[in-house]
Amino acid sequence: MIENIWAIPLFPLIAFVLLLAGRNVFQAKTATWVGSLSAFLSFLGSVAALWVQLSEGNHLSLFPWLSFGETTIRFGIELNQLNVLMMILVSLISFLVQVYSHSYMKGDQRVPIFHAYLSLFTFSMLGLVLSPNLLQLYIFWELVGVCSFLLIGYWYFKPEAKRAAQKAFIVTRIGDVGLLIAVILTLLYVGNLELTTIFASLDAGEIPPGMVTLIALLVFVGAVGKSGQFPLHTWLPDAMEGPTPVSALIHAATMVAAGVFLVARMFPLFQSSSVAMDTVAWTGAFTAIFAAGIGLVQYDIKRVLAYSTISQLGYMMFALGAGGYVAGIFHLMTHGVFKALLFLVAGAIIIVFNHEQDLRRMGGLWKTHPTLGWFFVIGCLSIAGIPPFSGFFSKEEVLLAAFADGRMGIFILGIVTAFLTAFYMFRLFFLAFWGKSSIETRGKTVASTMIWPMGVLALLSILAGFVEVPGHHLSFWLREGSDTISGKVGEASIWVAFFSIAVSLAGIILAWAVYANKSIPRDLLQKPFPWLYSFLHRKCYVDEMQRAIVVEPYRMLGFLLSAFDRYIVQGIVHLVAGIPRFAGAIVTRLQNGQAQTYALVSVIGLVLLIIGLTAGRLFG
C-alpha cells in the first residue's frame, strides 16, 4: 500500500493528458467529470495515505535519476505528516473547485482545457509536496508557476488577463531564481540535494553558518515570490483576472501555499540561522499589516480577498519565523479551507451580480440569497478569528507563537492586523449583503453544484479547528519523530485569546457601524488624511516603485541594446553579406554561358600568368 503513494499525483496527470487529448471531443460535463473524479481519487488516496502514515509511520522511497561524478541525484517520494496534510488539502480543494467550476464556467468555449490546466496544477502541487529532493521540488515548483501562468491568463483575449499572467510569471520568477541559487549552493556545500541528507549535514554542522544563512535567505526569496510576500506580492492581486475558481485554488491550496510549504519543509534549515528566522518573521509581519491596510480601501471584491490572502500568508510566515512550526502549518490548513470558501462564495456573488466585481454597486444580497450570506459569514468569522470557527484556533496559535518567542513587535503587528482583518472582511460582507444594489439579483439562483462544495468547505471551516483544540493532537502528530522541530506547546496564555477575540469583535462592530448602520460616516478617516487613503488605495505605490526602479532602467537598456543591434551589428552583417554579393554579381556576368567569354577569360588569365611568371626576366 505505502509503495503506491506515487499513484496519487498520477490521477490528475492522467486527467490532464486525457483532457488535453480530448479537448475538442469532450463535452463540458464530461470534462468536469474527468477532472473532478481524478481529484477525488487523489483525495481518497491521500486519506488512505494519512491512515497508512498514522499506522505505519513515515515512508521514503527513492530511485537514482541522474549521476555525475560522485554525486547521484535520487528522485522519489517521501511521506510524512506535513506531506500528507498538504496532499489532503490540495486534492480536496482541487476536487471541490473543479466541481464548482462546472457551473461557474458554464458557456465557456474551452472547459476541457480549463479542467486540464486545473488537473496539471493539482498534479504539480501534489508532486511538489511529495518531493524528497530539492531538485525534484524545484521542478514541480516551476510547474506550479507555469500552471498559474496558464490559468491566470486563461481568458487570454482580455488584455488585463494577459498582462496579469505575464506579471505573475515574471514576478514569481524573481523568487525562483533565488531558490535556484539556493539549490546550487546546497549542492555545492552538501554534495547532495536530498532533504534528509541536507538536514543531517546541518545537524553535523558541515555547512558554514554564513552559508546556512545565505541558503535559507535564498530559499525564502523563492517563498516570497510564490507566497506573495512583500515586495513580490504585486502579482497576486492582479492574478484576480483569472476565473474565480482558479483564484480559489491558487489562494487556498496550490500556488501561494507552495511558498509557505517550502519554508515549513526546510524548517530545520531556517532554525539553524537566527538571521533567517528574523527575516522570515519580520517580512511576514510587515506583509500582514501592509496587505491588510491596502485591503481596507479596495473596492473590487476579489482584490480585497487577494489582499486578505497576502495578509494571512504573512501570518503564516511570521508564525514560522517565530518558531511556530505547527502554528504556521495549522494556519495554512485552516486558511486554505476558509479562503477557498470565501472565494467560491465571492464567485457566486459575482455570478449573481452579472459579473460585476465592484463592491460599491453591490448590496442587499442577504434578502435574496441567504444561503450565500450564511456561507460568507462563516468564512468571515473564521478569518476574523471568532471562536469556534477554525480561523480562531489557528490564529491563536500564530499569535501565541509570536508571543512565546518573545517577539513583542511582531505580536503587536499581528494583533493590529487581526483588527484590520476583521474590519475589512466585514466591510466586504456588509457592502455586499446589506443596503441596496442597482443590479437586480432577485430570481437568480445559484446552481447546486456550486452550493454543495461551499457547504463542504463551510462545514470544514467550522470543524477544522478541532483537530488541534482541545488536546493538541495536530501538534503532537506533526512533531512526531522529528526532534529538530522544537517549539512551544501548551503555553497558552488565556488572556491572549480573549484579547484577540476582543480586537476582532471591535473590528466587526466598527465595520457594522460604518457600513451597515451608517452611524459613523465612511469618510471619517478619509477626510483628514486624504493622502493616507490614496496611498493605500494605490496599493502603497509598490507597483509604481517597481516600475520606476526596475522596469524603466531595463527598458532603457533594452532600447539602447536594440539600437546597437539594429544599426551597428546589423550594419556589419549587411556589409559582410554585401561584399560577396557584389563579387558574385560580377562573377555571374562572366558566367553567361558563352564559350567566347570563357575563352577570353582564359586568354587574359594566360597572359597574366606569363607576365606573373616571367615579369622579372622579361623586362629585367
Partner 1 sequence: MQINGEFIAFFVLSIFAIGGAVLLMNLVRVVHMALALAFTLLSIAGIYLLLNAEFLAVVQVLIYTGGVSILMLFGIMLTRHRDQEGDSVRPWHNLLSFLGVGSFLGIVIHTIYNAPLTEITAEVGTFSTAWLGEAVFKQYVIPFEAVSVLLLIALVGAVILARKESKP
Partner 2 sequence: MPITSYLALSAILFSLGLYGVLTKRNAVVVLFCIELMLNAANINLVAFSKYGLYANQTGHVFTLFTITVAAAEAAVGIAILIALYRNRNSVKADHYNMMKG
C-alpha span between 395 and 507 (Å, rounded): 15
**Interface segment toward partner 1; rule CB under 8 A; list 234-242, 289-297, 381-389, 603-611:** 603-611
Write out the binding residues for partner 2, residues 158-177 only, by CB under 8 A.
none
What is the distance, to the nearest Å, from the Cα of residue 543 to the centroid of all Cα atoms in its chain?
Answer: 18
CB-nearer residue toward partner 2: 204 or 618: 618
Q: Which of 24, 55, 519, 592 forms a contact with partner 2 (CB under 8 A)?
A: 592
Q: Which of 463, 545, 579, 604 binds partner 1 (CB under 8 A)?
A: 604
| 580 upstream amide cis, omega within 30 of 0 | no
User: For residue 194, what is the DSSP state?
Assistant: B
DSSP character for 254?
Answer: S
Residue of 66, 563, 599, 611 that binds partner 2 (CB under 8 A) = 599
Nearest C-alpha neighbor of 253 from the set 380, 89, 464: 89
- Kindly state the smallest distance separating residue 598's Cβ from partner 1, in Å: 12
Count the residues of the shown chain that bind partner 2, applying the rule CB under 8 A.
Answer: 10
The count of other CB atoms within 10 Å of the CB of residue 282 is: 17
Least Cβ distance, residue 583 to partner 1 (angstroms): 18
The answer to whether residue 4 forms part of the interface with partner 2 (CB under 8 A) is no
Among 63, 596, 612, 617, binds partner 2 (CB under 8 A): 596
Nearest to 127 by CA among 5, 251, 213: 5
Compute the least distance from the CB of residue 595 to partner 1, in Å: 12
Residue 588 or 596 with smaller CB distance to partner 1: 596
Question: Can you tell me the distance from the alpha carbon of 388 to that of 445, in angstroms, rounded to the nearest whole number?
Answer: 30
Instruction: Candidates 199-207, 299-307, 490-498, 589-597: pick the segment binding partner 2 (CB under 8 A).
Output: 589-597
CA distance linking residue 43 with residue 93, whole number of Å: 9
For partner 2, the closer CB: 564 or 598: 598
- Which alpha helices (H) appear in 512-569, and where do they start and end? 530-537, 542-546, 552-563
Q: Which of 24, 109, 519, 596 binds partner 1 (CB under 8 A)?
A: 596
Return all residues near 444 (Cβ < 8 A) that are at least 6 apart. Answer: 351, 352, 368, 369
Stretch that binds partner 1, among 43-51, 220-228, 490-498, 610-618 (CB under 8 A): 610-618
Distance CA 202, CA 214 (A): 14
Least distance from partner 2 to the Cβ atom of residue 618, Å = 15
Quick one: which H or E segment has residue 65? strand 59-68
C-alpha cell at 574: 549587411
The answer to whether the CB of 245 falls within 8 A of the CB of 100 is: yes
Contact of 490 with 472, CB cutoff 8 Å: yes
Q: Which residues pair with 75 in a beta bridge?
A: 63
Which of 445, 517, 570, 594 binds partner 2 (CB under 8 A)? It is 594
Does 600 bind partner 2 (CB under 8 A)? Our answer is: yes
Judged by CB under 8 A, the stretch of 120-128, 172-180, 526-534, 596-604 that binds partner 1 is: 596-604
Q: Which does 611 bind (CB under 5 to 8 A by kind): partner 2, partner 1, none?
A: partner 1
For residue 443, the partner it binds in partner 1, partner 2, none, with Cβ less than 5 to 8 A by kind, is: none
Does the protein bind partner 1 through residue 600 (CB under 8 A)? yes
Site mask, partner 2, residues 541-580, x = CB under 8 A?
A: ----------------------------------------
Task: Select the binding partner of residue 592 from partner 2, partner 1, none (C-beta < 5 to 8 A, by kind).
Answer: partner 2
Give SS3 for 593: coil
CB of 585 to partner 1, least distance (A): 16
588 sits near partner 1 (criterion: CB under 8 A):
no
Between 24 and 592, name the residue whose CB sits nearer to partner 1. 592
606 interface partner picked from partner 1, partner 2, none, CB below 5 to 8 A per type: partner 1
- Least separation in angstroms between CB 594 and partner 2: 5
Could you tell me the sign of the dihedral formed by the alpha carbons of 484, 490, 491, 497, in that order? positive
Which one, 55 or 596, has the nearer CB to partner 1? Answer: 596
Please choose which of partner 1, partner 2, none residue 595 contacts, taking the beta carbon within 5 to 8 angstroms, the exact cut-off set by kind.
Answer: partner 2
Residue 133: strand, helix, or coil: strand
- Does residue 470 belong to the site contacting partner 2 (CB under 8 A)? no
| Position 587 contacts partner 1 (CB under 8 A) | no
| Integer Cα distance of 256 and 247 in angstroms | 10
* Phi, psi of 18, rounded to the nearest 5 degrees: -60, -50
Q: Put residue 472 in one of left, alpha, beta given phi > 0 → left and psi -120 to 50 → alpha.
A: left
Closer residue to partner 1, CB minimum distance, 494 or 586: 586
Q: Where are the beta strands (DSSP E) in 234-357?
A: none
Name beta bridge partners: 77.
61
Q: Angle between the 209-227 and 134-152 helix axes, to the nearest 10 degrees?
A: 20
Q: Which does 550 bind (CB under 5 to 8 A by kind): partner 1, partner 2, none?
A: none
The rounded Cα 436 to chain-centroid distance in angstroms is 35
Select from 593, 612, 616, 620 the one that contacts partner 2 (CB under 8 A). 593
3-state secondary structure at position 72: strand
Q: What is the rounded CA–CA span in Å between residue 266 and residue 272? A: 10
Binding footprint of partner 2 on the chain (CB under 8 A):
591-596, 598-600, 603
Binding footprint of partner 1 on the chain (CB under 8 A):
596-597, 600, 603-604, 606-607, 610-611, 618
